[in-house]
Amino acid sequence: MKIGVFDSGIGGLTVVKSLLEHNLFEEIVYFGDTARVPYGIKDKITIIRYAIEAVEFFKNFELDLIIVACNTVSAYALDEMREVSDCPVIGVVEAGILATANALKDKTSNILILGTKATINSKAYEIGLKAEGFHNLQAKATGLFVPLVEEEIYCGEILEATFRHYFSQTTSPDAIILGCTHFPLISDALQNYFSKDKILIHSGDAIVEYLEKNFDFNVKYNNPKLEFFASENPDALKAVSKKWLNI
């Protein structure tokens, strides 16, 4: 099975890492729209236009499936992508909601949703979680985490100060949804800030759980073919992929 993974930049590599750990696919084609990152501050019409352009790019590869790693695109543009795609398109928001529902049996659990401004404003996670019976929800736009991760700041005083900026008035949650693919890289720091017993919902792990529920994987691929493309500076993307994916 040959798939495409689409993200607004490099963050989607955290989803690729989860896919590789589970050996689900024979070929993975990654496209990061690095020339126009971040999507989290863009308006809906622009996000949809960029997403459709990504589908057109992927038509060069005869894919069996497209995974939208970007939470913002998953929140705003899945229907439009499906309309123009030659293969199924799935996103991380629906997968994240499923993973949260599976992880939390207590419907009164306090859930903290983190994401970009656009993802939080879409209320996609809140709508989906309320449909699953969860109503004790906090949603917070934490866009400053994205440039910090891009600068490889995964711990330390700058990140701690950013946590205090965002969370000083936040009720301690039972679970935290990492609603941006950059955020798993600061998951250890988040758990240290809130406490180790917090359940973290990671887009990469969530999409694997979703795939294994909805698709039949009879074959495992230990050495999948990987291709990386970017709309700007593809060498930088490839360098990050080697570091994050250990390839």
The verdict on whether residue 162 carries a ligand-binding annotation is no
Label residue 87 exposed, middle or buried (CB < 10 Å: 0-12, 13-18, 19+).
Answer: middle
The verdict on whether residue 205 carries a ligand-binding annotation is no
| Cis previous bond, 38, omega within 30 | yes
Give the burial string for 103-119 (b: 16+ CB within 10 Å, else e): bbeeeebbbbbbbbebb
Whether the CB-CB separation of 210 and 99 falls below 8 Å is answered with yes
Which of the residues 97, 118, 139, 180 is marked catalytic? Answer: 180
Which of the residues 16, 54, 70, 207 is marked catalytic? Answer: 70
Which tokens belong to 49?
Answer: 């236009």
The verdict on whether residue 33 carries a ligand-binding annotation is no
The verdict on whether residue 23 carries a ligand-binding annotation is no
The verdict on whether residue 8 carries a ligand-binding annotation is yes
The verdict on whether residue 40 carries a ligand-binding annotation is yes
* Residue recorded with tokens 């020339």: 35
Which tokens belong to 93?
Answer: 């928001």
Residue 180 is a catalytic residue: yes
Distance CA 158, CA 145 (A): 10
Residue ranges of the annotated binding site are 7-8, 39-40, 71-72, 181-182
Residue ranges of the annotated binding site for substrate are 7-8, 39-40, 71-72, 181-182
Residues with a known catalytic role: 70, 180
